[in-house]
């Protein structure tokens, strides 16, 4: 899939260097559940991501590498999880190399995932979640036209302390309204 500036595609083995350059930075994992992987673990992660290249049933993840030709690199990835077929629910997410923050790339790529969810899968509702301290993430959700539905306080123990959670969502009718 192509956007104005980006190519979104399944991961490939030769993306390992770009993936590791992003994922080896501790700040990337500040609000993620895992810790930064070493190179061997990054290789295992990317091998799994290479198998997540389509959505055919509930519970699956579509993971796409975001390649930016201007930089000649994979600069991040976007995901769409099919949460429920019966209730037509999905969830989007994104992780980008901090070197490429502030350029609108995450928004451009995330818009594709919303399009796949609403237009291709016919989802009714798509959510996104983040730690409230991750302001760039929730600001992106707002720029995408998602609305904050919940602020769960002390939702879970996260990296040794109680953590809060924001949940944002968009309905298909809101997506169609924003697209017109």
Could you say which DSSP state residue 60 is in?
A: -
Give the closest residue to 4 by CA, choosing from 103, 99, 143: 103
Q: pLDDT tens digits, residue range 3-43?
A: 999 999 999 999 999 999 999 998 998 998 888 999 999 99
Predicted local distance difference test score (pLDDT) of residue 100: 96
CA gyration radius, the chain = 16
Q: What is the mean pLDDT of the chain?
A: 96
Tell me the three state secondary structure of residue 72.
coil
pTM of the shown model: 0.94
Segment 140-168, tens digit of pLDDT: 999 999 999 999 999 999 999 999 999 99
* Domain annotation for the chain: domains and CATH numbers: 7-179 (3.40.630.30)
Is pLDDT larger for residue 95 or for residue 32? 95
Show the CA angle centred on residue 175, arms to residues 174 and 177, nearest 5°.
60
pLDDT in tens, 166-179: 999 999 999 998 76
Residue with tokens 């061997």: 40
Whose CA is closest to 175, among 98, 112, 95? 112
């Amino acid at each position: 899939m192509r956007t104005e500036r980006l190519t979104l595609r399944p991961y490939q083995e030769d993306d390992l260097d770009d993936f590791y350059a992003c994922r080896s930075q501790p700040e990337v994992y500040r609000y993620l559940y895992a810790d930064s992987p070493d190179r061997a673990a990054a290789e295992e992660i990317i091998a799994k991501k290479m198998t997540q290249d389509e959505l055919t049933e509930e519970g699956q993840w579509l993971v796409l590498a975001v390649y930016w030709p201007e930089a000649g690199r994979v600069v991040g990835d976007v995901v769409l999880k099919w949460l429920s077929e019966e209730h037509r629910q999905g969830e989007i997410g994104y992780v980008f190399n901090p070197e490429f923050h502030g350029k609108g790339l995450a928004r451009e790529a995330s818009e594709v995932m919303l399009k796949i969810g609403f237009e291709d899968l016919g989802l009714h509702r798509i959510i996104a979640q983040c730690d409230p301290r991750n302001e760039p993430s929730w600001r992106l959700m707002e720029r995408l036209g998602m609305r904050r539905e919940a602020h769960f306080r002390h939702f879970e123990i996260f990296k040794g302390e109680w953590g809060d959670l924001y949940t944002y969502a968009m309905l298909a009718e809101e997506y169609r309204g924003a697209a017109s």
